[in-house]
Amino acid sequence: LAIVLGANAYGKAECRVVRIVRNGARHEIRDRNVSTSLHGDFAAAHIEGDQARVLPTDTQKNTVYAFAKDLPEAEPEELALALARHFVTAVAPVAGARVAVEEYAWDRATVGGAPHDHTFLRRGQEVRTTHVTVDDRGGEWVVSGFDGLVLLKSTGSEFRGFLEDGYTTLQPTDDRIMATSLDVRWRHLTATAWASSYDGIRTLLVERYAEVHSRALQQTLWEMGRAVLEQHEDVAEIRLSAPNRHHFVVDLAPFGRDNANEVFFAADRPYGLICATVRRDDVPCAEIAWDAWPPRAAGGSPDGR
Amino acid sequence: LAIVLGANAYGKAECRVVRIVRNGARHEIRDRNVSTSLHGDFAAAHIEGDQARVLPTDTQKNTVYAFAKDLPEAEPEELALALARHFVTAVAPVAGARVAVEEYAWDRATVGGAPHDHTFLRRGQEVRTTHVTVDDRGGEWVVSGFDGLVLLKSTGSEFRGFLEDGYTTLQPTDDRIMATSLDVRWRHLTATAWASSYDGIRTLLVERYAEVHSRALQQTLWEMGRAVLEQHEDVAEIRLSAPNRHHFVVDLAPFGRDNANEVFFAADRPYGLICATVRRDDVPCAEIAWDAWPPRAAGGSPDGR
Amino acid sequence: LAIVLGANAYGKAECRVVRIVRNGARHEIRDRNVSTSLHGDFAAAHIEGDQARVLPTDTQKNTVYAFAKDLPEAEPEELALALARHFVTAVAPVAGARVAVEEYAWDRATVGGAPHDHTFLRRGQEVRTTHVTVDDRGGEWVVSGFDGLVLLKSTGSEFRGFLEDGYTTLQPTDDRIMATSLDVRWRHLTATAWASSYDGIRTLLVERYAEVHSRALQQTLWEMGRAVLEQHEDVAEIRLSAPNRHHFVVDLAPFGRDNANEVFFAADRPYGLICATVRRDDVPCAEIAWDAWPPRAAGGSPDGR
Amino acid sequence: LAIVLGANAYGKAECRVVRIVRNGARHEIRDRNVSTSLHGDFAAAHIEGDQARVLPTDTQKNTVYAFAKDLPEAEPEELALALARHFVTAVAPVAGARVAVEEYAWDRATVGGAPHDHTFLRRGQEVRTTHVTVDDRGGEWVVSGFDGLVLLKSTGSEFRGFLEDGYTTLQPTDDRIMATSLDVRWRHLTATAWASSYDGIRTLLVERYAEVHSRALQQTLWEMGRAVLEQHEDVAEIRLSAPNRHHFVVDLAPFGRDNANEVFFAADRPYGLICATVRRDDVPCAEIAWDAWPPRAAGGSPDGR
């Protein structure tokens, strides 16, 4: 019974690169976390310990920094494509490359009412993401998205008429808080104006979250995804992952107070987790493109903290 | 040789309370994390296991939720004062109470260009903080502040002329990135318009960070603190804690590229840590008021993750 | 151009359940984090907001707690199988269920040299994992594993003879620290004695990590995986994900000291990330079984901290 | 009204240093996180931006690595004392130095039933801590301790007879789970055999936690602290901080099952937080020594994650 090497990949995860564009006194900042992953014929490295075909992960890191220098104006998608194409083209043993970019947003500081030339404040918690896959047969997949957009609506959400069984104790409600921390990915069919596409899709998702009277989180996700596909022809499919951050109405009756959806306990765990894909009927799925493979480990801290 | 009970306190940490103010269709949201801590004569609870003088932490939690109901418009400082005064006044064994409030900011979602009535987005990473101490002899201390305001300036910062010894290898520089994640606390001498005071101090701190040409982070902190005390007479002292988030210029020479402060590696650890207090000459320090004692534990996750 | 609902699933994530087995004075503890995920025909919930086929995630949580009561001696694999079979069998709209269990290990406290009856200490950082998938056509997949086994060898590891290009600056080494935080998953072909199987595989992985003179992390992973498949016939394939936690030799020459692999800087980021699968030649891959889908969100803290 | 510089300090936080002691084939590992903090006359650095008296934090980092080389066998207390004395003695402007060490424990890997020479597994979650303060008037304070020792007893704990007011809803109980994640610090009056002292105190604390029938967490902390002071004459005082990690009995009655303290929900937040000091009657408190000042920031990740 033969034992064989299966799927494998390797790369450098979490290269933290800050690019300052110094066009005169007014600087721009690009703050990114870049991860690379290569696959190809690396059997000898595994089975014989022969590194002759292995480009070190340290070299991949150097390449990330050199490309950041060369491409000062690149959107994350462009930087990721340039890097992935380079590895597939210039490094013989590489059959495919995946590059993931997280981008952290900064606002200009306001000083005396005006935006400052070279001082910036980190904006928000959400992270813009890009996952690009390039193979040596001409395939290219670009997935854009974000992680951690935290949304809450204080009304306009209900949950009732659900299936019940012997383990059901939940009461139906026609007015509740609906809150989530959205992770979204969408796959592009063609190149586009990446920055304005990103801004447009993010705005649309927020608007639909606000406007749809929600009979369940599932319905809201569907309406959000559908709107994106209707208005963005270059998007083949979109995936939404939404933890349901439960806000429970606190019982104040023992203390002689009513509570008409005014005071809530925001719970940590457990939480509902709702995931949905919205896609075009005539476009095949592309599993390869959704995430850089292998998934990144949980963090770089050697202390486990 | 007698062994005795020393300083002690107990309370409920991290009551997560979301308060929705429903004045008609346009809702307001107050999202807070409230911790209480009581001290007094609790020797019997420790030494004899007698709980007769111990108000359960569960009761303290209930009180937080009830007060959140009663005080819909309260600023964090007002909520904390009300709770602390209650515990000192209404619970006989309590000689002192400290209440800490973290407030998480939300922006209204923009829908069709207009702010939405009941949908909100979490803003930023920074957390507004309040630490209030009240004792049964009429003492009240209010400390306002924030944690995690992340700032970066891409020029206007130098570090040279420093002391050198046999372990020094650092090269002086006259142009570097200066970045930090500011934690700041300031102590009020009197009550004030808490919300506008907070906004004014935060704006001033950002402006001074931007405008001061920095010869060291120490100098910048001093100038930031001094400006606050000059413009806010009700502030007795201010404490700033600033990790120096090092951004190292990447050497691109091996790859045939120069790097004139354009491409940086953002390092995680170690980091410099600079702390400074700026205070009025004629105002005594008040150690008691700076933080809720005891310090909060590292987090509520029972898995240690 | 039709827009359609694609893959979707929903469930309750991170039900923290502690099960105490009280057989007389000597208690046992089972400390787990259980996540459920259901898929099936939930189109109406998305497209029409009709919940008639949706079993609430709250009900799924209740079911987890009830099964924890009923199955005091169950290994994580058995608990997950029981839950997944229940959802597929008893809930009509459910076509497939995935259940993930994380198990946290506790040791008995030692008191006077003897193990204590009812006091326990959390052991280690690593987490035992189970991912079970059951569908309504009789398919069952069981994946066991662990996350976060932190290993370090201070010698017996080299890295040289690697591919070089114009971005390569790394020097080869024949003696380095090799450290990682292992995440491993293995898929069973048949039911087995889950607890002893887990212990045996974990021991074998540690032994091979220690004993293999490593010419690269790839080689070590291959040897670890191969050993498991050779000795455990019920294992179809094994996947190893290993961040390379770099330990850099500190240059002490400027301070008049040599450093023969004695003093290291343990870096946080970036890190190499090496992933490999070892499998049997004649066993088809089973993508469905490797992880509960959808992936869990990054954590339950509503503050994003 | 004069505005003046108040308390200030600066240093290098979280120098991650791994020291391998290579006495022949059998290696030892010392894995530490060292933070330094200096205070003295640094007014010119703040007010004039003059760095002439400022030893860079980069130099402090270098010193940590050099001392790690020189002191291969040092316990954390000894390393911290050596560093703090050096800064006070050798760097003229320094009036006081505080050094904090976190130590991460590793076990030898077991291979073929025997401990391996050079392969190690990270043990547990708890972190051994040391905080040392040295001033230029001959003062030296040594505080030892640990963070994150997670303990649970499944019986032998009650909570009843407590004070009730109008906000009290808690029911008394005579049998509950008591769980915590202990942070403990103790101050030494004299030098001692640091390693065996640490082991002895940790063992004693665990034993008392197990053996004391607890009428409240306060009582357990008192008994733990008292035992340490009775058996360790060199300990002047001990501080214990114990979050009460609530485990709630799940109501299984709706599903036709009883639950005699068998199935618990382990809650995240809020949690009780109990802190107590036990000290000798005739020993003055020493506020200076308990923690390195300034407190460390929340972490080194520039992404705020």
Considering C131, C232, C246, C247, which one is annotated as catalytic?
C246
- Can you tell me the mean pLDDT for D40-51? 96
pLDDT (0 to 100) of residue B304: 27
pLDDT band of D205, cuts 50, 70, 90 = very high
pLDDT tens-place string over residues A51-63: 999 999 999 999 9
pLDDT tens-place string over residues A13-35: 999 999 999 989 999 999 999 99
Residues in A closer than 8 angstroms to C286, CB to CB, are none
Distance between C114 CA and the closest CA of chain A, angstroms: 30
Cross-chain Cβ contact D294/B275 below 8 Å = yes
Q: End-to-end CA distance of chain D, in Å?
A: 42
Cross-chain Cβ contact D19/C66 below 8 Å = no
Considering D39, D232, D246, D247, which one is annotated as catalytic?
D246
* DSSP line for B78-124: HHHHHHHHHHHHHSTTEEEEEEEEEEE-EEEEEETTEEEEEEEEE--
Q: Which residues of A141-153 are buried (b: 16+ CB within 10 A; e: fewer)?
A: bbbbbbbbbbbbb
Residues in A closer than 8 angstroms to B207, CB to CB, are 109-112
Among chain A residues, CA nearest to C164: A55
Residues in C closer than 8 angstroms to A291, CB to CB, are none
Asked if residue D100 has pLDDT above 80, the reply is yes
pLDDT tens digit at each of 305 positions of chain C: 699 999 899 999 999 999 999 989 999 999 999 999 999 999 999 999 999 999 999 999 999 999 999 999 999 999 999 999 999 999 999 999 999 999 999 999 999 999 999 999 999 889 999 999 999 999 999 999 999 999 999 999 999 999 999 999 999 999 999 999 999 999 999 999 999 999 999 999 999 999 999 999 999 999 999 999 999 999 999 999 999 999 999 999 999 999 999 999 999 999 999 999 999 998 876 655 555 443 333 222 223 22
**B interface mutation test: which of A12, A15, A18, A123 has the most B CBs within 10 A?**
A18
Are β-strands D3-13 and A235-244 bridged in parallel, bridged antiparallel, or unpaired? unpaired
Asked if residue A301 has pLDDT above 90, the reply is no
Please list the active-site residues of B: 12, 57, 246
B179: enclosing H helix or E strand: strand B178-188
C144: enclosing H helix or E strand: strand C140-153
Distance between D285 CA and the closest CA of chain A, angstroms: 32
pLDDT band of A92, cuts 50, 70, 90 = very high
- Can you tell me the mean pLDDT for B64-76? 98
pLDDT (0 to 100) of residue B286: 64
Q: What percent of chain A has pLDDT over 70?
A: 93
pLDDT band of A294, cuts 50, 70, 90 = very low
Considering D27, D57, D116, D277, which one is annotated as catalytic?
D57
Cross-chain Cβ contact B297/D215 below 8 Å = no
Residues in C closer than 8 angstroms to B303, CB to CB, are 16, 33, 102, 104, 127
Among chain C residues, CA nearest to B305: C125
Distance CA B22, CA A259 (A): 11
CA B277 to each of CA A46, B231, B280, D12: distance values in angstroms, whole numbers, following the listed order: 57, 16, 10, 18
Cross-chain Cβ contact B262/A31 below 8 Å = no
Q: Phi-psi region for residue B294, left (φ > 0), alpha (ψ -120 to 50) or beta?
A: beta
Which residue from B70, B123, B210 is facing A111, i.e. has the nearest CB? B210
pLDDT (0 to 100) of residue D301: 28
pLDDT (0 to 100) of residue C82: 98
Asked if residue D122 has pLDDT above 60, the reply is yes
Show which subunits contact C, needing at least 3 CB pairs below 8 angstroms: A, B, D
Distance CA D142, CA D99 (A): 10
- Can you tell me the mean pLDDT for D258-283? 95
pLDDT (0 to 100) of residue B291: 53
Residues in D closer than 8 angstroms to A169, CB to CB, are 254
Among chain C residues, CA nearest to B102: C303
Asked if residue B287 has pLDDT above 90, the reply is no
Residues in B closer than 8 angstroms to C304, CB to CB, are 122, 125
Cross-chain Cβ contact B1/D49 below 8 Å = no
Asked if residue D303 has pLDDT above 60, the reply is no
Asked if residue A128 has pLDDT above 70, the reply is yes
Cross-chain Cβ contact A282/C1 below 8 Å = yes
Cross-chain Cβ contact C18/D66 below 8 Å = no
For residue D56, the number of C-alpha atoms closer than 13 Å in the C-beta half-sphere is 21
pLDDT (0 to 100) of residue C111: 97
pLDDT (0 to 100) of residue C291: 53
For residue C177, the number of C-alpha atoms closer than 13 Å in the C-beta half-sphere is 31
Residues in A closer than 8 angstroms to D122, CB to CB, are 304
pLDDT (0 to 100) of residue B303: 30
Give the three-state DSSP class for D218.
helix
Distance CA B197, CA B203 (A): 10
Distance CA A196, CA C52 (A): 40
Considering A86, A131, A153, A246, which one is annotated as catalytic?
A246
- Can you tell me the mean pLDDT for A111-140? 94
Q: Are C50 and C43 in contact (CB under 8 A)?
A: no
The yes-or-no answer on residue D27 being catalytic is no
List the one residue out of A227, A217, A205 whose CA is nearest residue A274. A217
Give the three-state DSSP class for B293.
coil
Cross-chain Cβ contact A4/C279 below 8 Å = yes
CA A216 to each of CA A276, C49, D133: distance values in angstroms, whole numbers, following the listed order: 13, 6, 58
Cross-chain Cβ contact A303/D125 below 8 Å = no
Please report where in the chains the tokens 């191969």 appear, as a residue. Answer: C226
Give the three-state DSSP class for D154.
coil
Helices (H) and strands (E) in chain B, counts: 5, 13
Which residue from D16, D255, D304 is facing A122, i.e. has the nearest CB? D304
Considering A12, A131, A188, A232, which one is annotated as catalytic?
A12
Q: Which residues of B189-207 are buried (b: 16+ CB within 10 A; e: fewer)?
A: eeebebeebbeebbebbbb
Among chain A residues, CA nearest to D253: A167
pLDDT (0 to 100) of residue B302: 27
Rounded to two decimals, the ipTM of the complex is 0.94
Q: Are A261 and A251 in contact (CB under 8 A)?
A: no
pLDDT (0 to 100) of residue C300: 27
Residue D8 CB contacts under 8 Å (≥ 6 apart), including other chains: B218, B275, B276, B277, D39, D42, D46
Which residue from B119, B122, B206 is facing A121, i.e. has the nearest CB? B206
Q: Which tokens is D183 given?
A: 């942070």
For residue B208, the number of C-alpha atoms closer than 13 Å in the C-beta half-sphere is 20
pLDDT (0 to 100) of residue C299: 28
pLDDT (0 to 100) of residue C90: 98
pLDDT tens-place string over residues B230-279: 999 999 999 999 999 999 999 999 999 999 999 999 999 999 999 999 99
pLDDT (0 to 100) of residue B150: 97
Which residue from A102, A127, A303 is facing D104, i.e. has the nearest CB? A303
More confident residue, B214 or D305: B214
Cross-chain Cβ contact C163/A56 below 8 Å = yes
Q: What is the pTM of this model?
A: 0.95
pLDDT (0 to 100) of residue A35: 96
Among chain D residues, CA nearest to C70: D257
Residues in C closer than 8 angstroms to D31, CB to CB, are 266
Asked if residue B71 has pLDDT above 90, the reply is yes
Note the residue count of chain B: 305
Residue C93 preceded by cis peptide, ω within 30: no
List the one residue out of B53, B21, B51, B17 whose CA is nearest residue B35. B17
pLDDT band of A290, cuts 50, 70, 90 = low
Alpha helices in C174-216, H assignment, sequence order: 194-211
pLDDT band of D83, cuts 50, 70, 90 = very high
Cross-chain Cβ contact A277/C13 below 8 Å = no
Show which subunits contact D, needing at least 3 CB pairs below 8 angstroms: A, B, C
Give me the total of CB pairs closer than 8 Å, taking one residue from chain B and one from chain C: 27
Q: Are A150 and C304 in contact (CB under 8 A)?
A: yes
Residues in A closer than 8 angstroms to C226, CB to CB, are 3
Which residue from B33, B255, B303 is facing C303, i.e. has the nearest CB? B33
Residue B176 CB contacts under 8 Å (≥ 6 apart), including other chains: B157, B158, B159, B247, B261
CA D185 to each of CA C59, D148, D235: distance values in angstroms, whole numbers, following the listed order: 44, 12, 10
pLDDT tens-place string over residues B86-128: 999 999 999 999 999 999 999 999 999 999 999 999 998 899 9
Q: 10 Å Cβ neighbour count for A115? A: 12
Among chain D residues, CA nearest to B46: D219
- Can you tell me the mean pLDDT for B52-66? 98
Residues in C closer than 8 angstroms to D22, CB to CB, are 154-155, 260-262
pLDDT (0 to 100) of residue A291: 53
Distance between B273 CA and the closest CA of chain D, angstroms: 5
The yes-or-no answer on residue C246 being catalytic is yes
Residues in B closer than 8 angstroms to C103, CB to CB, are none
Q: Which residues of D1-12 are buried (b: 16+ CB within 10 A; e: fewer)?
A: eebebbebbbbb
pLDDT (0 to 100) of residue D283: 82
Residues in a beta bridge with B94: B40
Which residue from C226, C272, C304 is facing A3, i.e. has the nearest CB? C226
Which residue from D17, D203, D247 is facing C18, i.e. has the nearest CB? D247
Distance between A25 CA and the closest CA of chain C, angstroms: 31
Q: Are B69 and B17 in contact (CB under 8 A)?
A: no
pLDDT band of A293, cuts 50, 70, 90 = very low
Q: Are D144 and D130 in contact (CB under 8 A)?
A: yes
List the one residue out of C250, D217, A174, A44 whose CA is nearest residue B270. C250
Are β-strands A235-244 and A271-280 bridged in parallel, bridged antiparallel, or unpaired? antiparallel
pLDDT tens-place string over residues A275-289: 999 999 988 766 555
